[in-house]
């Protein structure tokens, strides 16, 4: 019987992989559903087991199955791992994804699974925490805080119970690595959480998954059941989000698990001291926890040997948006945006020139191609007014209107604000209104300056809201900048605090979309 | 209009039983409210206002707290949705691939503006902010099934699915 491998990843399914798998079954194949290899241009991908290894065909539809089985299909790729997209990757975290049956315990074990947990259990908690510190692993959710230091704080805090919480509320547009890992290699995350439990003395863990990821929820739940005996006495459960982006913020997420509105908590106290249900809690992103088994099984030095500056190890980078070869690209830090977008990504899917990339999701900055020589590194991006975030890169072609993207950043913040702090709640709404006026002024050419109205009339018209007379481009631009400043420094969490990044970067790097060089408020008002 | 009427309609015995069952299953969990509300919505299709006092009593919290949670999260509905639910992604990665035009076209093709249920109750059209399929957009979720590379032809297929 022919054995065929077809991904059951949500992206593959969205492209029609289920129908392909069904067609293969109808022809008598033994079909193994895997995770995705991570290159969506070749999905739906079928890999046929042969003496010389797996032979890939993709993209294929259900009608192509006969040609795939007799080897005559033109989309024959041969060894998928040898494709240019894959050869230079360093798959530490995603080593098994796309290759194994995600729920098969024997597949997991034969591909190096549970080695990290066994190694950790042979060590004292402090030794495990020290290993994670030595690896240089930093939080992959976006903030880049050293994972080992977080664990040390929880280990050093004595309490009758502690928790491990996995943040799988991957809401950033342009990111899908958490989803792919949970769907493609769920035991890797479970192993990482069990190691964390051993390291800090926590007995129970929660995986908080957004409701937009139904397949990941299903796979994680089944994986938890099947591996319960292996990770015992550590226990795990899945909690499903309810469509609130802000719950990706760690303290809002904790409130959500507690059954409350997902509102941000003021820090301190840190979750490491007073976290879930008031107990010391390790809260880490999926990718941080999933990197831990490698650190323990291969050694902290092996992980830290790769990377750039203070950003150690690998990052599963997600190449997304208007790009030809979109997908998951795991590689050591230090790769440049130009390599990612042009060489690996192959430029835009539309064939038009690249105009901008947004790095780090809806709260990340937009960069023009002239800045593509930046190495992928936490510090470099911060220095340029941006952030790596969850390492999603969204590519835009030259049809994008950056003023509309700036407006969308404010609109998204207004929709998703938890409402607890004023700069975010009110500032985002005012931001949408101001950018609307700015766009209107831009599209109308320069709007009439306030002095064309007689001073007496202006006072009568605008006395209660003097800023409303400032309808010139320069004035609105100054207001947006001032608002961004207030949001950046006055917001409780990253939602309000980082929404200025996409707005300001769009204004700074693409001034032509905002009607030319912005001028200071004083010039416009006088 | 129809949504308001449906929400005000008294619950059937079956719906009350389903709510009771969800309460019994989750009330002793830590942080039970979200899983409980998900269970109610899965069983009934929405979270009826009449369920709020039942849930509040079982969890020993105020009705205001339950109401606050229901209205905070985008997922929970206080009125029944259409028979089919079509979600179109509005986030940046889909926008970079022409998502805004698809959003507009979907509203026209399905005959109901974004964020509403069509008058005949057959379909609800909703925005979603990222389905995690960001290199193959514009994306949609049709009754829980992901659809990538949505174009005019795909919208036609979705519209006929909804009509069937």
| pLDDT tens column, A336-387 | 999 999 999 999 999 999 999 999 999 999 999 999 999 999 999 999 999 9
How much is the average pLDDT of A214-224?
A: 98
Whether B91 and B159 map to the same domain: the answer is: yes
Of the candidates A164, A17, A7, A172, the one whose C-alpha atom is nearest the C-alpha of residue A96 is: A7
Q: Residue B84 is encoded by which pair of tokens?
A: 């089919």
pLDDT: is A155 or A523 the higher one?
A155
pLDDT at A517: 60
- Residue A446: is its pLDDT beyond 60? no
Is the residue at B78 inside a domain?
Answer: no
**Choices 1.10.274.10, 1.20.1440.230, 1.20.120.1760, 3.90.920.10: CATH for A402-525:** 1.20.1440.230
What span, in angstroms and rounded, lies between the C-alpha atoms of A133 and A152? 9
Residues B33 and B56 both lie in one domain: yes
Give residue B128's pLDDT band: very low, low, confident or very high (50, 70, 90).
very high
In 3D, which of A42, A199, A177, A60 has the Cα closest to residue A116? A199
DSSP SS3 for A185: coil
Candidates 3.40.190.10, 3.40.50.1820, 3.40.718.10, 3.40.30.10; CATH matching A3-82: 3.40.30.10
**Distance from first CA to last CA of chain A, Å, rounded?**
82
Same domain flag for B61 and B119: no
Percentage of residues of chain B with pLDDT beyond 90? 93
The token pair at A398 is: 């030259």
pLDDT at B5: 44
Domain-ending residue, one of B47, B72, B97: B72
pLDDT at A32 over 50: yes
Lowest-pLDDT range, A461-470, B5-14, B44-53, B97-106?
Answer: A461-470
B-interface mutation test, from A174, A219, A499, most B Cβ less than 10 A away: A174
**What does the pLDDT look like over A69-115, one tens digit per residue?**
999 999 999 999 999 999 999 999 999 999 999 999 999 999 999 99
Report whether the peptide linkage leading into residue A163 is cis, meaning its omega lies within 30 degrees of zero. Answer: no
Question: Within 10 Å of residue A166's Cβ, how many Cβ atoms?
Answer: 30
> Are A174 and B92 an interchain contact pair (Cβ–Cβ within 8 Å)?
yes
pLDDT surpasses 50 at B141: yes
Residue range A463-487: mean pLDDT, rounded: 78
pLDDT above 90: residue B1: no
**Strand, coil or helix: A45:** coil
Q: Which residues contact A202 (CB under 8 A, 6 or more apart)?
A: A154, A161, A162, A163, A164, A196, A234, A281, A282
Cα–Cα separations (whole angstroms), residue A467 to A455, A463, B32: 14, 9, 48
CA distance A260 to chain B (A): 6
How many angstroms from the chain centroid is the CA of residue A159? 32
Range of the domain at B41: 2-72
The CATH architecture of the domain made up of A105-304 is: 3-Layer(aba) Sandwich (3.40)
Is B144 part of a structural domain of the chain?
Answer: yes
Residue A233 has pLDDT above 70, yes or no: yes
More confident residue, A458 or B141: B141
- Percent of chain A clearing pLDDT 70 (strictly above): 93
The verdict on B55 and B108 lying in the same domain is no
Q: Do the Cβ atoms of B135 and A40 come within 8 Å?
A: yes
Pair of tokens at residue A3? 């054995």
Same domain for B94 and B151, yes or no, is: yes
Query: Domain check: are B20 and B90 in the same one?
Result: no
Count: domains in chain B? 2
Domain boundary among B15, B41, B72: B72
* pTM summary value: 0.93
Mean local confidence (pLDDT), A272-295:
98
Q: What is the mean pLDDT of residues A211-221?
A: 98
Q: How far apart are CA A137 and CA A292, in angstroms?
A: 8
pLDDT band at A458 (very low <50, low <70, confident <90, very high): low
Distances (CA, A) of B159 to A135, A218, B126, B162: 52, 28, 14, 5
Distance CA A139, CA A290 (A): 11
pLDDT, tens only, A373-397: 999 999 999 999 999 999 999 999 9
Residue A349 in contact with residue A323, Cβ under 8 Å? yes
Tell whether B77 is covered by a domain: no
**Which has the higher per-residue pLDDT, A283 or A460?**
A283
Answer yes or no: is B20 within a domain.
yes
Please, are residues A480 and A407 in contact by the beta-carbon 8 Å criterion? Answer: no
Residue A44: cis peptide before it, omega within 30 degrees of 0: yes
| Domain layout of chain A by residue ranges | 3-82, 105-304, 307-397, 402-525
Residue B81 has pLDDT above 80, yes or no: yes
The yes-or-no verdict on residue A425 having pLDDT over 80 is: yes
Residues B113 and B138 in one domain: yes
Judge: B134–A240 Cβ closer than 8 Å, yes or no.
no
User: Each residue of A192-211: b (16+ CB within 10 Å) or e?
Assistant: bbbbbbbbbebebbbbbbbb
Fold of A307-397: Ubiquitin-like (UB roll) (3.10.20)
CB-based contact A172 B68, cutoff 8 Å? no
Q: What are phi and psi of A88, to 5 degrees?
A: -95, 5
In a domain, B141, yes or no: yes
* Distance separating alpha carbons of residues A292 and A166, to the nearest angstrom: 13
pLDDT for position A453: 55
DSSP H helices, B1-151, are 2-8, 13-26, 33-44, 51-59, 63-72, 92-95, 99-110
The crossing angle, in degrees rounded to 10, of helices A422-443 and A473-490 is 160
Per-residue pLDDT reduced to its tens digit, B21-69? 999 999 999 999 999 999 999 999 999 999 999 999 999 999 999 999 9
Dihedral pair phi/psi, residue B136, rounded to 5°? -135, 25
Q: Name the one residue in this structure whose structure tokens are 């809201």.
A: A465
Domain CATH number, residue B130 = 3.40.30.10
SS3 A235: strand
- Domain ends where: B40, B72, B104? B72
Q: How far apart are CA B21 and CA B15, in angstroms?
A: 10
pLDDT at residue A526, rounded to an integer:
31
Which residues are CB-neighbours of A102 under 8 A, at least 6 positions away? A8, A33, A34, A35, A183, A184, A185, A186, A187, A219, A223
What's chain B's average pLDDT?
94
* Whether the predicted pLDDT of B3 surpasses 70: no
Q: Is residue B152, in this structure, part of any structural domain at all?
A: yes
Chain A, residues 347-406, CB within 8 A of chain B, namely: 349-350, 358, 361-362, 392, 394-397, 400, 405
The 8-class DSSP code of residue B60 comes to: T
Q: Are residues B129 and A416, on separate chains, in Cβ contact within 8 Å?
A: yes
Q: Name the nearest CA neighbour of A43 among A17, A22, A72.
A: A17
- pLDDT higher than threshold 60 for residue B2: no
pLDDT at A462: 52
Same domain, B43 and B105: no
**Which residues in chain B are closer than 8 Å to A245, comparing Cβ atoms?**
129
**Cβ neighbours of A26 (radius 10 Å):** 10
pLDDT for A518 equals 45
**Gap between the Cα atoms of B67 and B73, Å rounded:** 11
Q: Look at residue A525 in the predicted model and tell me its pLDDT.
A: 34
Note whether B94 contacts A: Cβ–Cβ < 8 A. Answer: yes
Check residue A67 and give its pLDDT: 97
For B18-30, the pLDDT digits (tens) are 999 999 999 999 9
B-chain CB neighbours of A244 within 8 Å are: 72-74
Asked if B139 and B95 sit in the same domain, the reply is yes
Average pLDDT of chain A is: 93
Q: Write the pLDDT tens digit of every residue in B82-115.
A: 999 999 999 999 999 999 999 999 999 999 999 9
- B100 located within any domain: yes
Location of structure tokens 């799988």: A168
Q: Which of B30, B85, B93, B138 to mutate to test the interface with A (most CBs of A within 10 A)?
A: B93
- Cβ–Cβ contacts within 10 Å for residue A71, how many? 11
The answer on pLDDT for A199 being more than 90 is yes
Question: Mind listing the pLDDT tens digit for each residue in A87-97?
Answer: 999 999 999 99
Q: What is the DSSP letter of A306?
A: S
Is the domain of B9 the same as that of B55?
Answer: yes
B-proximal residues of A, 180-219, CB under 8 Å: 211-214
- Identify whether B31 is part of a domain: yes
Looking at residue B10, its pLDDT comes to 85
Q: CA-CA-CA-CA torsion for A419, A425, A426, A427, nearest 10 degrees?
A: 160
Would you list the DSSP string of A12-29? HHHTTHHHHHHHHHHTT-
User: From CA A14, how far away is CA A386, in angstroms rounded?
Assistant: 32
Cβ-Cβ contacts under 8 Å for A277 (sequence gap 6 or more)? A163, A258, B30, B31
């Amino acid at each position: 019987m022919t054995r065929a491998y077809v991904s059951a990843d949500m992206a593959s399914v969205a492209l029609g992989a289920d129908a392909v798998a069904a067609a293969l079954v109808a022809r008598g194949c033994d079909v193994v559903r895997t995770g995705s290899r991570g290159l969506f241009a070749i999905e739906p991908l079928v890999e046929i087991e042969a003496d010389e290894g797996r032979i890939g065909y993709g993209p294929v539809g259900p009608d192509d199955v006969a040609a795939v089985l007799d080897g005559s299909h033109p989309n024959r790729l041969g060894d998928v791992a040898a494709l240019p997209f894959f050869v230079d990757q360093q798959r530490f975290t995603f080593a098994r994804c796309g290759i194994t049956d995600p729920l098969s315990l024997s597949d997991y074990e034969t591909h190096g699974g549970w080695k990290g947990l066994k190694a950790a259990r042979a060590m004292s908690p402090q030794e495990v925490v020290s290993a994670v510190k030595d690896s240089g692993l930093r939080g992959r959710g976006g903030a880049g805080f050293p994972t080992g230091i977080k664990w040390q704080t929880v280990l050093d805090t004595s309490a009758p119970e502690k928790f491990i919480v996995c943040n799988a509320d991957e809401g950033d547009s342009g990111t899908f690595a958490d989803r792919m890992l949970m769907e493609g290699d769920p035991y890797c995350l479970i192993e990482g959480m069990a190691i964390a439990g051993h390291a800090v003395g926590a007995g129970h863990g929660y995986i908080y998954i957004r409701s937009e990821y139904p397949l990941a929820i299903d796979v994680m739940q089944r994986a938890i059941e099947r591996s319960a005996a292996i990770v015992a006495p550590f226990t795990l459960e899945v909690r499903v989000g309810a469509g609130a982006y802000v719950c990706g913020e760690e303290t809002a997420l904790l409130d959500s698990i507690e059954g409350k509105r997902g509102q941000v908590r003021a820090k301190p106290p840190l979750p490491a001291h007073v976290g879930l249900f008031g107990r010391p809690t390790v809260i880490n992103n999926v990718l941080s926890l999933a990197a831990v088994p490698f650190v323990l099984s291969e050694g902290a030095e092996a992980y830290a040997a790769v990377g750039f500056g203070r950003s150690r190890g690998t990052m599963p980078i997600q190449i997304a948006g208007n790009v030809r070869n979109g997908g998951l690209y795991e590689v050591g830090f230090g790769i440049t945006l130009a390599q990612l977008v042009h060489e690996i990504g192959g430029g835009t899917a539309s064939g038009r020139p690249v105009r901008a990339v947004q790095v780090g999701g809806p709260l990340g900055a937009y960069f023009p191609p002239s800045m593509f020589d930046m190495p992928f590194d936490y510090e470099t991006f911060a220095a340029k007014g941006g952030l790596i975030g969850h390492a999603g890169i969204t590519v835009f072609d030259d049809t994008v209107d950056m003023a509309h993207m700036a407006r969308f950043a404010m609109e998204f913040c207004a929709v998703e604000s938890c409402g607890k702090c004023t700069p975010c709640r009110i500032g985002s709404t005012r931001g949408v209104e101001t950018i609307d006026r700015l766009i209107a002024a831009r599209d109308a050419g320069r709007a009439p300056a306030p002095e064309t109205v007689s001073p007496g009339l202006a006072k009568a018209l605008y006395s209660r809201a003097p800023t409303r007379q400032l309808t010139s481009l320069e004035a609105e631009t100054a207001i947006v900048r001032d608002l961004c400043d207030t949001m950046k420094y006055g917001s409780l969490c990253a939602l309000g605090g980082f929404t200025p990044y996409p707005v300001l970067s769009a204004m700074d790097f693409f001034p032509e979309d905002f009607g030319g060089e912005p001028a200071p408020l004083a010039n416009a008002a006088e | 209009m129809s949504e308001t009427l449906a929400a005000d309609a008294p619950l059937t015995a079956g719906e009350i039983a389903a709510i009771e069952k969800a309460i019994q299953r989750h009330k002793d969990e830590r942080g039970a409210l979200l899983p409980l509300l998900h269970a109610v919505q899965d069983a009934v299709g929405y979270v009826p206002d009449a369920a709020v006092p039942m849930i509040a009593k079982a969890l020993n919290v105020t009705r205001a707290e339950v109401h606050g949670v229901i209205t905070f999260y985008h997922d929970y509905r206080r009125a029944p949705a259409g028979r089919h639910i079509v979600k179109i992604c509005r986030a940046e990665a889909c926008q970079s691939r022409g998502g805004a035009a698809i959003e507009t076209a979907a509203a026209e093709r399905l005959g109901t503006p974004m964020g509403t249920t069509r008058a005949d109750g057959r379909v609800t059209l909703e925005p979603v902010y990222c389905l995690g399929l960001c290199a193959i957009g514009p994306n949609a979720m049709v009754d829980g099934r992901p659809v990538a590379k949505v174009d005019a032809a795909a919208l036609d297929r979705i519209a006929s699915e909804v009509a069937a």
